[in-house]
Amino acid sequence: DADVTQTPRNRITKTGKRIMLECSQTKGHDRMYWYRQDPGLGLQLIYYSFDVKDINKGEISDGYSVSRQAQAKFSLSLESAIPNQTALYFCATSDSSSEQYFGPGTRLTVL
């Protein structure tokens, strides 16, 4: 089984809808991250969490929120989706070594 899983893998939704993307990991890492990737722009950090009680905004947190339900689970929500949030979303984890392990990604399309 994969160390970092994301659900759903693909999602098409409409403007204004609330969407939740979920991430689970079995690596036992404390640190978890949410990124979005757009063509030509690279990975941009949305939110990150260094333990269950720690949540921090990244570079592009506006329009997003997160929840760290447990060490192994980190969810990303779009409260009211808009078309420019159409992107590929990745969850990642790391331990103190700083090497990041990425999930397979969620392709989100907002119409």
Partner 1 sequence: SQKIEQNSEALNIQEGKTATLTCNYTNYSPAYLQWYRQDPGRGPVFLLLIRENEKEKRKERLKVTFDTTLKQSLFHITASQPADSATYLCALPNSGGYQKVTFGTGTKLQVIP
Q: Which stretch binds partner 1 (CB under 8 A): 18-26, 69-77, 78-86, 103-111?
A: 103-111
**The one among 34, 47, 48, 74 contacting partner 1 by CB under 8 A:** 48
Cβ distance to partner 1 smaller for residue 50 or 63: 50
Quick one: DSSP state of residue 41?
T
How many whole angstroms separate alpha carbon 87 and alpha carbon 108? 6
Q: How far is the CB of 93 from partner 1 (least distance, A)?
A: 11
Cβ distance to partner 1 smaller for residue 84 or 98: 98
**The one among 61, 72, 101, 109 contacting partner 1 by CB under 8 A:** 101
Helix, strand, coil distribution of the chain in percent, nearest 5? 5, 60, 40
Cβ distance to partner 1 smaller for residue 84 or 96: 96
Pairing of strands 73-78, 54-57: unpaired
Pairing of strands 106-110, 10-13: parallel
Pairing of strands 42-51, 54-57: antiparallel
**Amino acid identity, residue 14?**
K
Residues that bind partner 1 (CB under 8 A): 4, 31, 40-43, 45, 48, 50, 58-59, 88, 90, 92, 94, 96-105, 107
